[in-house]
Amino acid sequence: MQEENPRGSAHGHRPTLPEHKPVTLRVNGTAHQLSLAPWTSLLDALRENLHLTGTKKGCDHGQCGACTVLVDGKRINSCLTLAIMQENTDITTVEGLATNGQLHPVQQGFIDHDAFQCGYCTPGQICSVVGLVNEGKAKSIDDIKDLMSGNICRCGAYVNILKVAQEALERAKTT
Ligand code: FES
Ligand code: FES
């Protein structure tokens, strides 16, 4: 009897792909039960399965920050983590920041400081500023620049993004 080759047969048959797995993701306070291929990135699960397209795909390689979301309040590049690894975490996307129809102060800050042009990097920048404040490591302008350096803005809106981040850190000190 011929042994089964998990990589596919010598006659060029395609290998059998693993089954999709049930995955529960808690996003913006709501639990969603999904069936995902195990290699699905959190970014693809958010955009393609949950249709939360505020989170952007730039490089898909951890180099631009467009896909930044918050996991348990801290920033991650959602293109670099598998959805299946984020069960039992609290995921917040840009869609989950406003409350009762009121923009999050950091979202408002981007408008007030005119901190975007095309807007493609903006959801990631906004989540990154919120995470920066939560993480509590930025103490100076240089710290902000350093800790926000993973979020690339091809329009070069950095000066005004920096103002939003400074303001958010100041606000955190007084609340
Ligand atoms: Fe994730 Fe660029 S899309 S870092
Ligand atoms: Fe265009 Fe940042 S506003 S990439």
- Read off the pLDDT of residues 40-65 as tens digits, 9 standing for 90 and up: 999 999 999 999 999 999 999 999 99
Q: Give percent of the chain with pLDDT exceeding 70.
A: 90
More confident residue, 2 or 64: 64
Cα-to-centroid distance, 67 and ligand 2 (Å): 13
Tell me, what CATH number does 65's domain have? 3.10.20.30
Cα-to-centroid distance, 67 and ligand 1 (Å): 5
Ligand 2 residue neighbourhood (C-beta within 6 Å): 116-122, 153-155, 157
pLDDT of residue 3: 43
Locate the ligand 1 atom nearest the alpha carbon of residue 58 and give its number: 3
pLDDT of residue 161: 98
pLDDT of residue 26: 98
Closest CA to 93 of 26, 145, 166: 26
Ligand at minimal distance from the CA of 61 is 1
Check if 57 has its Cβ closer than 6 Å to any atom of ligand 1: yes
pLDDT of residue 18: 67
In a domain, 54, yes or no: yes
- Beta strands 90-92 and 30-36 are unpaired
Nearest-CA residue for ligand 1 atom 4 is 62
pLDDT in tens, 150-167: 999 999 999 999 999 999
In a domain, 102, yes or no: yes
Cα-to-centroid distance, 164 and ligand 1 (Å): 22
Count of domains for the chain: 1
In a domain, 13, yes or no: no
Residue 87: domain span: 21-174
pLDDT of residue 142: 98
Per-residue pLDDT band for 114 (boundaries 50, 70, 90) equals very high
pLDDT of residue 122: 98
Check if 66 has its Cβ closer than 6 Å to any atom of ligand 1: yes
In a domain, 1, yes or no: no
Question: Other CB atoms closer than 10 Å to residue 54's CB: what's the count?
Answer: 17
**How much is the average pLDDT of 13-41?**
89
Question: Would you list the DSSP string of the chain?
Answer: -PPP-TT--TT-PPPPPPPPEEEEEEETTEEEEEEE-TT-BHHHIIIIIS--TTS--SSSSSSS-TTEEEETTEEEEGGGSBGGGGTTSEEE-GGGS-BTTB--HHHHHHHHTT--SS-SSHHHHHHHHHHHHHHT---SHHHHHHHTTTS--TT--HHHHHHHHHHHHHHHHH-
Compute the mean pLDDT over every residue in the chain, rounded to the nearest whole number.
92
Q: How far out from the chain centre does Cα 159 lie?
A: 22
